[in-house]
């Protein structure tokens, strides 16, 4: 437990979910991509082994006292398992260099067995990392698995530009691809749920910055509902996030059946609270780039205060979080400040007096 806290994250989350008092607000800077910085590791070193990935998360928790560790199955995990070729940069997130599927009409040739745990070494690495984290600190802090939603999984197999064109030119085959991804994600999520991990479902290619609401409702929402239902049948819990401006689809996202809704910094927290705050807990949305990476500690303090002030009274509860995963060279002192400001402005009982 962090020296400045009176409850462990597990105790705090349990109190949050049952409506009981907490020492402070839940605070979850999404310290995933950058977690190796806490041990002086590059991104390549961090992702090179299960032990490195796990120890990076443990180091972040020991320093920050954040309320969630995050193991990264990743946004490209499905595509990579099926044959998409990835870059291997030293200090950034790998990118897709060649896609597993060139012709959407050949979607029926995709081999689901390649996604199984026994056949996917990357899946095994992340599974082992999750088990190490849970074994070492799971008695104190919950663990989450960052994994793509169905539409983004499809975009890891078939080039995004062509995928978007197929929403008009070849919708039947596109539906086949997204359904295939949904079935694969069900299998993958069930394996992680067995470890006791939460599912952090992220679907950035479904962003309102990219798709119209009509496209989201046709090509994303039905499959997300199906996936959420399966996760719940496996006794899992889901936090749902879509990057970018999702203002027009916030209500639709909640219809997915998610347990918690995470929003990007491009979406107004107060708007979200007024629209869906009585339906699900809300997470968000300190700007990960302009504030946490490029800003200073004063910027972080101000942003945290503003987020809590806007949303502390949301009917189903509010969790302070970054607007997206933290990547690149985020100054560790900014995450220190994020947590310090959470403890200052989010101390219990939550009250307007905390903000002045």
Per-residue pLDDT tens digits for 70-109? 999 999 999 999 999 999 999 889 999 999 999 999 999 9
In angstroms, the CA 316 to CA 335 distance is: 26
Domains along the chain with CATH numbers: 9-348 (3.20.20.210)
Residue range 116-120: average pLDDT? 98
Rounded to the nearest angstrom, the gap between the alpha carbon of residue 92 and the centroid of all alpha carbons in its chain is 18
- 281-302: average pLDDT: 96
Helical H segments across 73-196, by residue range: 77-82, 121-137, 150-155, 160-169, 171-193
- Residue 356 pLDDT > 80: no
What integer is the mean pLDDT of 229-254?
97
User: The tokens 């539906």 sit on which residue?
Assistant: 175
Are residues 86 and 80 in contact, defined by beta-carbon separation less than 8 angstroms?
A: yes
pLDDT at residue 291 in the model: 97
Write down the pLDDT at residue 173: 98
Q: Which two tokens stand for residue 56?
A: 């990076």
pLDDT in tens, 22-70: 999 999 999 999 999 999 999 999 999 999 999 999 999 999 999 999 9
pLDDT tens, position by position, 197-221: 999 999 999 998 899 999 999 999 9
Pairing state of beta strands 85-86 and 96-98?
Answer: antiparallel
- Longest Cα separation, the chain: 61
């Amino acid at each position: 437990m962090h020296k400045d806290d009176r409850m462990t994250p597990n105790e705090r989350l349990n109190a949050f979910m049952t409506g009981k008092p907490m020492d402070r607000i839940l605070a979850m800077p999404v310290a995933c991509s950058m977690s190796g910085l806490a041990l002086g590791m590059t991104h390549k070193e961090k992702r090179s082994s299960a032990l490195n990935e796990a120890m990076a998360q443990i180091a972040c928790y020991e320093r920050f006292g954040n309320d969630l560790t995050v193991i990264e199955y990743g946004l490209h995990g499905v595509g990579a398992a099926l044959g998409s070729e990835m870059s291997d940069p030293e200090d950034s997130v790998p990118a897709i260099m060649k896609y597993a599927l060139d012709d959407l009409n050949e979607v029926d040739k995709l081999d689901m067995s390649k996604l199984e745990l026994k056949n996917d070494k990357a899946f095994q690495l992340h599974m082992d990392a999750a088990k190490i984290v849970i074994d070492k600190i799971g008695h104190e802090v919950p663990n989450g698995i960052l994994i793509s939603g169905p539409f983004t999984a499809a975009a890891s197999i078939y080039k995004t530009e062509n995928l978007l064109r197929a929403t008009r030119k070849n919708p039947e085959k596109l539906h086949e691809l997204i359904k295939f991804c949904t079935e694969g994600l069900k299998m993958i999520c069930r394996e992680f749920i067995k470890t006791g991990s939460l599912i952090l479902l992220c679907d950035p290619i479904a962003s309102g910055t990219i798709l119209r609401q009509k496209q989201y409702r046709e090509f994303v929402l039905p499959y997300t509902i199906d996936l959420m239902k399966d996760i719940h049948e496996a006794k899992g819990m889901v936090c749902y996030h879509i990057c970018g401006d999702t203002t027009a689809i916030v209500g639709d996202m909640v219809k997915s059946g998610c347990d918690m809704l995470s929003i990007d910094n491009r979406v107004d927290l107060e708007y979200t609270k007024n629209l869906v705050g009585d339906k699900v807990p809300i997470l968000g949305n300190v700007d990960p780039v302009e504030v946490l990476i490029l800003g200073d500690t004063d910027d972080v303090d101000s942003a945290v205060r503003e987020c809590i002030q806007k949303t502390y009274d949301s009917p189903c509860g509010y969790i302070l979080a970054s607007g997206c995963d933290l990547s690149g060279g985020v100054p560790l002192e900014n995450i220190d400040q994020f947590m310090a400001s959470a403890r200052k402005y989010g101390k219990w009982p939550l009250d307007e007096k905390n903000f002045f």
